[in-house]
Amino acid sequence: MKQIFEHSKSFWVRYSDYAIVEDNNGIKYLKAAENARPDLYDPIDSLEEIVVKALNVGRICMGIDRPDEEKDEAVYQFVKEYGFLGLMTAIPTTPRFLSNDNVFLPKNQFIKRETMEVFEYLAHFYPFERPNISKNCAKYTVVFEGDTDMVALAWLADGRADEVHLSFQREYSERLDWLRQQFVDWAFTMTTVFFYYHDYDHMSEKDREFYRQSMAAYDGITPSYHIELKKDRPVLMWNLNSLLQGIQLMVCKMLTDDDNPVKMCPGCGKAFIAKNPADKYCSNSCEKHKNSGGD
Ligand SMILES: [Zn+2]
C-alpha cells in the first residue's frame, strides 16, 4: 500500500494549538494560537492514518443536518494534529509564485479567478499581518522574523520554496470554509466510489456515466521528489509543497488499492482501511447490527 512512499521522508509543521479568528469581514480563519510552539513531524510516516481522518472530517463537514460548530471543531482537531493543509502553495499552478508579478490559478473551488497580483493573493493567507516581503519585479526578499522558533523554521534548508516556509509561519492562516470545502471534496470522492458499486445494478447507464465523470474531475497535483544521498543509502525525498498534495495522492492510491483499500462502512458511514478487499464493514459490530435488522 505504501510502496510509493516507502523509505521516503518529508516534514511538515504543526503548532501546539490553533485559534479561530475572524477578520473585519466576518470571515473565519484558523491561525496558530498565541504562544503556540511549532513542531516538525514527518507526515509520510502516518499518511494512511491522516487520510482516514481527513475522510472522516469530510464526512462530518458534508452532513447537512450537522451544526457548524461541530464541523469547525472537526477541522480544528485535524489541523491541531497535522497542521494546515498548505492551501497557499497548493492552489496556484506553481508553489513558487513570489518571483512573478501575478499568481496563476488553475480552476479551483476557492478563488474564481485565473490570475491575481501576488500581494493580493498573499492577503488571503495573511489576513491579519502582512509578511515582510520586499519585491522588485522578479527579485524578492522574504524576511522571516519573530521569535527563535520562527527564524529556525525559515532556515531549514530542505530545498523547498520560500513560499512553503511562509506557510509555516505564525501569522499564516487558512480560511475555515475553504478547509471544510477541501475535506468535503475528499469525502465526496469516497462516497462516489461507494455508491457507484453499491447501486451499480440499479442505476441507469446515464447515472453511471455521471458517477464516472465526477471521478474524472478529481484530478491530481503530484508532489515533486528528489533523491537525497544519505550516509548509508540514497533516499527518496518527497518535496511536499503542501500537505494537501500528499493527502490527495494518497486518497487516490488508497481508494484503488488491491489489497487494503480505504472504504466507507455502510453501517456507521465512516472511512476505514479494509483488512481484506472484500470487507464491507469496518467492524464486526457494524456488520452484526446490519444483519440483525437494524441500520
Ligand atoms: Zn462501521
d(CA 119, CA 103): 9
Q: Is 26 left (phi over 0), alpha (psi -120 to 50) or beta?
A: left
Query: Ligand 1 center to residue 282 CA distance, Å?
Result: 4
Neighbours of ion ligand 1 (CB under 5 A): 265, 267-268, 282, 286
- pLDDT tens digits, residue range 78-109? 999 999 999 999 999 888 999 999 999 988 88
Residues 97 and 121 sit within 8 Å (Cβ to Cβ): yes
What span, in angstroms and rounded, lies between the C-alpha atoms of 139 and 99?
Answer: 6
pLDDT digits (tens, 9 = 90+) for 226-279: 788 888 888 777 778 899 988 988 898 899 899 999 999 999 999 999 999 999
CB-CB contact of 272 with 262 (8 Å): yes
CA of 213 to the centre of ligand 1 (A): 28
**CA of residue 280 to ligand 1 center, whole Å:** 9
Instruction: Tell me how far the alpha carbon of residue 278 lies from the centroid of ligand 1, in angstroms.
Output: 15
- Is this model's pTM higher than 0.85 or not? yes
Distance (Å) from CA 195 to ligand 1 centroid: 16
Cα 164 to averaged position of ligand 1 atoms, centre (Å): 37
264 alpha carbon – ligand 1 mean position (Å): 8
Q: What is the pLDDT of residue 119?
A: 94
pLDDT at 1: 44
Q: 268: CA distance to ligand 1 center in Å?
A: 4
Kindly give the confidence (pLDDT) of every residue in the chain, 295 residues in length, as a single tens digit, with 9 standing for 90 and above. Answer: 456 666 666 789 999 999 999 999 999 999 999 999 999 898 988 999 999 999 999 999 999 999 999 999 999 999 999 999 999 999 998 889 999 999 999 888 899 999 999 999 999 999 999 888 988 877 888 887 777 776 677 666 667 788 998 999 999 999 999 999 999 999 999 999 998 998 999 999 999 998 888 887 776 666 777 788 888 888 777 778 899 988 988 898 899 899 999 999 999 999 999 999 999 999 999 998 876 654 4
- In the reported structure, the alpha carbon of residue 254 is separated from the centroid of ligand 1 by a whole-number distance in angstroms of 18
CA of 194 to the centre of ligand 1 (A): 14
Cα-Cα end-to-end distance for the chain: 31
